[in-house]
Copies of this chain bind each other. A is one copy, B any other.
């Protein structure tokens, strides 16, 4: 799917994140999530294998889009230009519902070690997808690793800036993540 399905998937994610924040991840059951979202437990299980899975729902889509954007960058694009292509492509999967979820998700993750672990592994997965796509373009290993770390950092910083805004400026995630990538690129000059 490109964007989150506007129906049950989206409602389940919002319900889950709110419950995780209100009462903690461990104390929240699938039954509670389904009830809050106004669906049955079997609808939950048609969308997600368990409550943890729900948190990585977007990860496969993001990984695929990041890799596609990198693969389809012009042949003469630099490693970071290819990463920028990946960030632009991945941003197309993130609409207003994802922006509004940001602060809730941040609160839920802050409250749970288990969610922090899950979130950290998600970053590792996104970086691995980008590294593989860069290596397939012939980018040598340390450069590919470094470029994908910058890409993940830019995506996270861009998402944070985007989801902290009120959305009234009509800005897209792509603008924020590309601005963050440019800022990180500029920072490489002052590493010493």
Contact = CB atoms under 8 A, between A and B. Distances in A.
Nearest to A152: B149
A142 B191 contact: no
A116 to B, nearest CB: 6
Given A146-B184, A153-B149, A191 B79 contact: yes
Interface in A108-148: 113, 116-118, 120-121, 123-124, 140, 142-143, 145-147
A192 interface: yes
Interface in A25-42: none
B118 A191 contact: no
Interface string A144-179: 011101100100010000000000000000000000
Nearest to A147: B191
A81 interface: yes
The secondary-structure label for the interface of chain A is helix
A111 to B, nearest CB: 15
B79 A142 contact: no
Contacts of A157: 142
| Interface residues on chain A, size class | 20 to 34
B150 A146 contact: yes
A83 to B, nearest CB: 9
Contacts of A188: 146, 188, 191
A16 interface: no
Given A78-B192, A116-B121, 13 more contacts: A77-B192, A79-B191, A79-B192, A117-B117, A120-B120, A140-B190, A142-B157, A145-B153, A146-B187, A149-B149, A149-B153, A150-B191, A188-B191
Interface of A: 77-81, 113, 116-118, 120-121, 123-124, 140, 142-143, 145-147, 149-150, 153, 157, 183-188, 190-192
